[in-house]
Structure 1
Amino acid sequence: MSVKPQPQPQQNHLLAALSPEVQERLFPYLELVPLPLRAIMYEARRPMRHVYFPTDSIVSLQYVMENGASTAILVVGNEGLLGITLFMGGESTPSRSLVQSAGYAYRLPRPRVKEEFKRHGQLLVLMLRYTQALITQIAQTAVCNRHHSIDQQLCRWLLLSMDRLSHNHLTMTQEFISNMLGVRREGVTQAAHKLQQLGVISYSRGLIKVLDRPRLETLSCECYEVVKKETELLLPYLPQRSVITNADSIPTARLPMQPA
């Protein structure tokens, strides 16, 4: 039985884009940590002690209302980092950070982040550009949640998730996804069923398999393409994503269709 290799810092595209000089300063202080599914990375209004650079995990930032209802406002994966508040002048955030797809991340202590940031060098530039990309994602998510159907929102969410993973396997309940989208669980089930009827996805025993990604992009609203283009413009270090046409090679995502 082969042992899965330990994730390397360069699996995070932002860390990989740093010059060797900056990497030599930061990499000795990076600590690899597991991110279990549904783990809370940051709680609202709590002090933040680290910045996290995901390698093969996805973390969603959710805004939680007083009545407990929540909606995801953005997702973070191997394209960037979690914890922009630390270098934007704050020590906490009004949102909650929840692991959407389990995996690993490298974390960097707050003092090291601020020390490197104050050099006004490469890390500063990359972080500011990444912050602008997140602002675009937040704005487009707000528009999408207000004006587009649950079907379109689910397509957008699946596409954003796949863009940030190499394996693209997601294990989560309908309730979790409904909380992410800020909609009722029944709406998620109906939307997934429609996609299956159209031949875009298939699911059995909680396993969703994307059969036609180009069609999935077509069925999604324009919000996905807006975020994707702006992200690629601001973050030129991201690898080019090729369009997969062979249905057998399309990655999969786990989505239980029955209440957990």
Structure 2
Amino acid sequence: MKSTEIDFPTETLLEQKNHLLLRIAEDERQSVLAELELHDCEARHVFYELGAPIEYVYFPQNCVASILTVMQDGTAIEATTVGKEGLVGLPVFLGDDRSFQRAVCQVPGQVWRMEVNTFKELLGESAALKYELGRYTQALFFMVAQSSACNRLHTIEERCARWLLLTHDRVDQDQFHLTQDYLASMLGVRRASVNEAAGSLQKAGYIRYRRGVITVLDRPGLEAAACECYRVITDEFTRLVGLV
């Protein structure tokens, strides 16, 4: 990742898009912002690896991260998605310095980075940061639980639409890079199944998919094609941490 120099705190406030940070009370937010570094993050960048020490926590601006569960044979499937609503590095908040999952950048963009030791110190000093992270953790646990049921009960096309909507919510534009291989890995299905589902959504005019780039053309149509889980997850995030 490439680092971008920021003159704190004025420019940071102007550039800030991470909802979790924006929800911290103004008097406590300044001390948090002063410890952040802004980085450009490329697709497939690994934030931390399975079983490895976590050295930094990350607050996405407009990039999207996937938290992956990795099996013994190396197969990985997405457990949850993290964007501008949250934090990559939640195990540190919960008291662990190592990850039982892999975190990778799914959609490129910018992210705020903070050293783990600094983050721990701030948790002891900022009640507001601790409170907002607690509510975010609850929202994320709910998302994981709902997604587990979704993966068992709903069609690949419905799940694909849900996943695209959740990603669309977390980026600043209607177009984002995403290969079919990667989407298949995220959904835990064969590429042929993703190709069929994406083709159906494209034929309906909801999306356009060309050369690894997804363009959302009809947001209401895509929402109608998704299962109930998209709205349920979004409503719970809205209740706990504000609009995504």
Return 5+ residue gaps in structure 1 as ranges: 1-5, 240-260
Aligned pair partner of 1:52 in 58, 83, 96: 58
TM-score (norm 1): 0.85
Aligned pair partner of 2:119 in 113, 116, 133: 113
CA deviation vs aligned residue, 1:204-224 (integer Å, no higher than 9, x gap): 444433232112111111111
For 1:246, the equivalent position in structure 2 comes to none
Residue type of the alignment partner of 2:177: T
Instruction: Tell me the SS of whatever aligns to 1:118.
Output: helix
For 1:30, the equivalent position in structure 2 comes to 36
Matched-pair contact (CA < 8 Å) for 2:65–2:106 = yes
Instruction: Tell me the SS of whatever aligns to 1:15.
Output: helix
Shift of 1:13: 1.3
- The number of residue pairs the alignment matches comes to 234
Q: Which moved more, 1:161-170 or 1:184-193?
A: 161-170
Counterparts of 1:153 and 1:42, CA distance in 2: 26
Shift of 1:56: 1.1
Residue type of the alignment partner of 2:95: G
Shift of 1:195: 1.1
For 1:232, the equivalent position in structure 2 comes to 238
Change (3 A) 1:120 1:28: closer
Counterparts of 1:204 and 1:117, CA distance in 2: 44
Structure 1 position 167 matched with structure 2 position 173? yes
Structure 1 position 70 matched with structure 2 position 112? no
Instruction: Tell me the SS of whatever aligns to 1:85.
Output: helix
Change (3 A) 1:118 1:10: same
Residue type of the alignment partner of 1:233: R
Residue type of the alignment partner of 1:77: G
Aligned pair partner of 1:187 in 183, 187, 193: 193
Return 5+ residue gaps in structure 2 as ranges: 1-5
Structure 1 position 208 matched with structure 2 position 214? yes
For 2:86, the equivalent position in structure 1 comes to 80
Structure 1 position 142 matched with structure 2 position 120? no
Counterparts of 1:205 and 1:108, CA distance in 2: 34
CA deviation vs aligned residue, 1:150-190 (integer Å, no higher than 9, x gap): 10111001000011111243223211111111100011110
Shift of 1:59: 0.3
Change (3 A) 1:66 1:116: same
Instruction: Tell me the SS of whatever aligns to 1:157.
Output: helix
Shift of 1:66: 1.2
Counterparts of 2:109 and 2:235, CA distance in 1: 26
